[in-house]
């Protein structure tokens, strides 16, 4: 994987806002940087797909264990009044989560707090899709 330095687009904050991504700057600092991109080989992409799929399956195994155990539901801070809803959703296999996985291989290029698995509810999907829509021609 190569990190390729580029000049940031002068209007990226305005474009991000236009496409619905309004938290592009937090506490006076950019939420993401526009001064580089990563170039991967096909083999690297395929490896990322494989390990991502494996990690996703591991996450699903954790969910399966948690929904069966009230102590774990409590430990994971799932509000008690939602337990039945969460269990029903899980047992019905409702597609209710997506995940953003960041490779530990990027450790030298990104701060530690980016090397995490973050699970978000579907309402965030609109924000992510709408903020990226149209950028491919920018």
**What are the CA-CA distances from residue 38 to residues 1, 12, 107 (Å)?**
7, 18, 13
Look at 28 and 3; give whichever has higher pLDDT.
3
pLDDT tens per residue across span 29-53: 877 777 888 899 999 999 988 888 8
Cβ neighbours of residue 104 closer than 8 Å, sequence gap 6 or more: 115
Q: Which residue, 122, 121, 117, is CA-closest to 62?
A: 117
Look at 75 and 96; give whichever has higher pLDDT.
75
pLDDT tens per residue across span 87-97: 998 999 886 55
Mean pLDDT along residues 109-122: 45
58: confidence class by pLDDT, cuts 50, 70, 90:
confident
Q: CA 115, CA 100: separation in Å to the nearest integer?
A: 10
């Amino acid at each position: 994987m190569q990190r390729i330095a580029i000049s940031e687009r002068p209007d990226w904050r305005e474009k991000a806002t236009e496409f619905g991504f309004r938290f592009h700057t937090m506490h006076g600092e950019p939420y993401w940087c526009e001064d580089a991109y990563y170039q991967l080989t096909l083999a690297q992409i395929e490896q990322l797909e494989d390990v991502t799929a494996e990690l996703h399956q591991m996450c699903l195994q954790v969910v399966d264990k948690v929904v069966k155990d009230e102590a774990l539901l409590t430990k994971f801070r799932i509000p008690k009044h939602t337990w039945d809803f969460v269990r029903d959703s899980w047992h019905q296999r409702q597609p209710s989560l997506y995940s953003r996985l960041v490779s530990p291989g990027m450790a030298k290029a990104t701060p530690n707090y980016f090397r995490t698995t973050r699970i978000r509810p579907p309402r965030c999907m609109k924000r992510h899709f709408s903020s990226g829509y149209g950028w491919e021609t920018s």
